Amino acid sequence: MPRLVYVLNGPNLNLLGKRQPHIYGSETLADVEDACRALGKELDLEIRFHQSNREYEIIDWIHAAREQATGIVINPGAFTHTSVAILDALNTFNGTVIECHISNVHKRESFRHHSYMSLRADGVIAGFGTQGYLLSLRRVAKLADEKTG
């Protein structure tokens, strides 16, 4: 049975490829989704891939992941730096949480250096471009493999 993983994307990531390509690259979110699905097949992961500009939708997907999913890979966009509500939702989830940022947030403005998500994340990846999503999935799969022995 494939292990279920939610890949969640926050505000403005629908514009990936068009928005500040010098920071976020030229790949679109659809390209990222395709790459996640292809790797998911290889790693025996079922991928649920979502994006929203609305905080409550991200929270609802995290709730949907509870009791079902082995992991969540989340790029909350700017909600990373502001959302106690998304942190609270992640704290209701018992599986692996990987926080993934395309850019190296630590090289950018100081308001991007703080993350509410990091208080829950099992791992954080930043500055690997869209490859960070694939590395995050590999980590979720490895931890799931270790759990099932």
Whose tokens are 């699905």? That residue is 37
CA within 13 Å, CB half, 146 = 8
122 is annotated as contributing to ligand binding: no
Contact residues toward ligand DHK (CB under 6 A) are 12, 75, 77-78, 80, 101-103, 105, 112
88 is annotated as contributing to ligand binding: yes
81 is annotated as contributing to ligand binding: yes
Nearer to ligand DHK (CB atom), residue 71 or residue 77: 77
Burial of 135 (0-12, 13-18, 19+ CB in 10 A): middle
* Minimum CB–partner distance for residue 143 and ligand DHK (Å): 22
Residues acting as catalytic residues:
24, 101
* Minimum CB–partner distance for residue 84 and ligand DHK (Å): 16
Nearer to ligand DHK (CB atom), residue 77 or residue 95: 77
Whose tokens are 């292990």? That residue is 3
Q: Which residues contact 37 (CB under 8 A, 6 or more apart)?
A: 47, 49
* Minimum CB–partner distance for residue 118 and ligand DHK (Å): 13
